[in-house]
Copies of this chain bind each other. A is one copy, B any other.
Amino acid sequence: MEGLSVADAQRCILETIRQLGSEEVPLQQALGRTLAEDVQANRDQPPYDVSAMDGYALRSADVTQSPTVLKVIADIKAGDLPTCTVQAGQCARIMTGAPVPQGADAVIRVEDTQALTADTVQINVPVKPRNDIRDRGESMRCGATILPRGTELTPGAVGLLAMVKRAQVAVYRRPRVAILSTGDELEGLDEPFDANKIPDANSYALMAQVQALGIEPVLLGIARDRPEHLREMLQRGLQFDALLVSGGTSVGVHDFVRPTLEQLGVQMKFWGVAMKPGHPMAFGTAPLTWVFGLPGNPVSSMVCFEQFVAPALRCMSGLPRLYRRTLNARLAHAIKHRPGRSEFVRVTLRQEGDTYIATSTGAQGSGILSSMAHAEGLLIIPAASNGFAAGDTALVQLLDGTAFQSSPAGE
């Protein structure tokens, strides 16, 4: 038995996830959070008809033919409240964002004019009514919902909140996350060097993956292979919204983790997913905590995090987009695969014209963490696949840190 499919395991997890409660945060801390309220506009924006250009506010009827010379009767900048009225043959010098004065029904940009004297200007092109005027309420109408509950607060959304003067905003709480490594073979980051031990990389790789989601996790350290110590550490972890335990979840005889979790009231939903790397992935729920049993190998653990933990943590945070973005890439080389498990191959990406080309980072052993450190994406081989030939197209899941590329757009 190979275990659940990746998709079934994702569904099994997400079916149990509840969105956490909400809290008020200052706008300075709102980026990346999910709105827990509908936000309405508190005014018309712009509050009056404004110029979209630096230029001259005029009566379009005066400039149906060009060139035309007009008299400049005022000088209006953003923030002014003009009192003048533009009459036939007149215009007002106006800046971008400044209110359009009475009488004027269009704006001509300064580039299409020529100042003749201090108070006369030649308009070089004909101008249509409403040209380069932004209408009152064009950006937002007072009372309209501009950001619905559930919106992910991107920089643009943060700007929009500032636009409606929301210095505080209700967002969903982010999960509190605990990370625990297990195993006598592990050496902690602050412990002395022992050539026979294996440094605990998992805690820190998982820490960074959680940080990449905007959450600061708590590292509980290493639980040793003594039942009472493991039990105490797991108990501490169950105080959090999410507990990530790495190691100790496979089927070996020295596995205390699963029975100990069960004794502590965790209901295991699955152990084993038909994937490579990551087969020993397990998941369970306690009344207040979701427990993710991650493989002991750092690469497996990281791949499982991306497939199962990241979507779950984002779901708890109320975020609408749960899964790492995918794109299609052409394979630089063949990849073998025996049907049975989904496989995630660490790849680098390069652009060639319109196409992304994916190349394996090399040896794919699940202990080879450097392959993960240098990867830009995970190429997905579906469970039923017989492998890919060079030039085939496959789906690549982008990894953290790949929101940016080396070349400017189109190069």
Chain A contacts to B: CB under 8 angstroms: 7, 10, 27-28, 30-32, 42-43, 45-48, 52, 54, 75, 77-81, 93, 95-98, 110, 134, 138-140, 146-147, 151-165, 167, 183-187, 189-190, 193, 195-209, 211-212, 225, 247, 250-254, 296-298, 302, 311, 314, 319-328, 351, 354, 356, 363, 365-370, 372-375, 380, 382, 393, 395, 397-411
Q: Which residue of B has the minimal Cβ distance to A399?
A: B154
Q: Which residue of B has the minimal Cβ distance to A402?
A: B325
Q: Smallest Cβ distance from A9 to chain B, in angstroms?
A: 11
Residue numbers in B under 8 Å from A298 (CB-CB): 159, 163
Contact at B403–A78, with CB atoms within 8 Å?
Answer: no
Residue numbers in B under 8 Å from A186 (CB-CB): 79
Complex CA–CA separation, A130 to B255 (angstroms):
25
Complex CA–CA separation, A95 to B253 (angstroms):
8
Given contacts A159-B372, A409-B397, A323 and B54 within 8 Å (CB-CB): no
Contact at A189–B162, with CB atoms within 8 Å?
Answer: yes
Given contacts A28-B207, A298-B163, A404 and B323 within 8 Å (CB-CB): yes
Given contacts A97-B296, A324-B403, A400-B154, A198 and B77 within 8 Å (CB-CB): no
Contact at B408–A323, with CB atoms within 8 Å?
Answer: yes
Residue numbers in B under 8 Å from A159 (CB-CB): 201-202, 204-205, 208, 298, 302, 369, 372-373
Residue numbers in B under 8 Å from A158 (CB-CB): 204-205, 207-208
Contact at A374–B156, with CB atoms within 8 Å?
Answer: yes
Given contacts A186-B79, A253-B93, A296-B96, A138 and B368 within 8 Å (CB-CB): yes
Residue numbers in B under 8 Å from A203 (CB-CB): 162
Q: Which residue of B has the minimal Cβ distance to A77?
A: B254
Contact among B42, B204, B253 for A162, CB-based, below 8 A: B204
Instruction: Give 27 A-B contacts (CB < 8 Å), ordered by A residue.
Output: A27-B189, A27-B204, A42-B193, A52-B365, A77-B185, A78-B247, A79-B225, A80-B184, A80-B185, A95-B253, A97-B297, A134-B365, A138-B363, A139-B368, A146-B370, A156-B370, A162-B203, A162-B205, A165-B199, A321-B405, A323-B408, A325-B402, A325-B403, A326-B405, A326-B409, A382-B410, A398-B403
Contact at B409–A370, with CB atoms within 8 Å?
Answer: no
Residue numbers in B under 8 Å from A32 (CB-CB): 212, 401
Contact at B96–A297, with CB atoms within 8 Å?
Answer: yes
Contact at B205–A155, with CB atoms within 8 Å?
Answer: yes
Complex CA–CA separation, A202 to B162 (angstroms):
8
Q: Smallest Cβ distance from A54 to chain B, in angstroms?
A: 4
Given contacts A160-B369, A162-B201, A404-B322, A250 and B47 within 8 Å (CB-CB): no
Contact among B48, B160, B320, B372 for A370, CB-based, below 8 A: B160
Q: Smallest Cβ distance from A43 to chain B, in angstroms?
A: 6
Complex CA–CA separation, A203 to B163 (angstroms):
10
Contact at B78–A185, with CB atoms within 8 Å?
Answer: yes
Contact among B31, B93, B189, B406 for A208, CB-based, below 8 A: B31
Residue numbers in B under 8 Å from A253 (CB-CB): 75, 93, 95
Residue numbers in B under 8 Å from A93 (CB-CB): 253
Q: Which residue of B has the minimal Cβ distance to A78?
A: B185
- Closest A-B pairs by Cβ, 10 of them: A159-B205, A79-B185, A156-B372, A79-B184, A162-B204, A155-B208, A156-B373, A158-B208, A321-B404, A78-B185
Complex CA–CA separation, A386 to B277 (angstroms):
48
Residue numbers in B under 8 Å from A151 (CB-CB): 373
Residue numbers in B under 8 Å from A409 (CB-CB): 323-324, 326, 380, 395, 397
Residue numbers in B under 8 Å from A382 (CB-CB): 410
Contact at A31–B370, with CB atoms within 8 Å?
Answer: no
Contact among B54, B206, B322 for A252, CB-based, below 8 A: B54
Contact at A410–B395, with CB atoms within 8 Å?
Answer: yes
Given contacts A81-B196, A208-B154, A395-B410, A138 and B96 within 8 Å (CB-CB): no
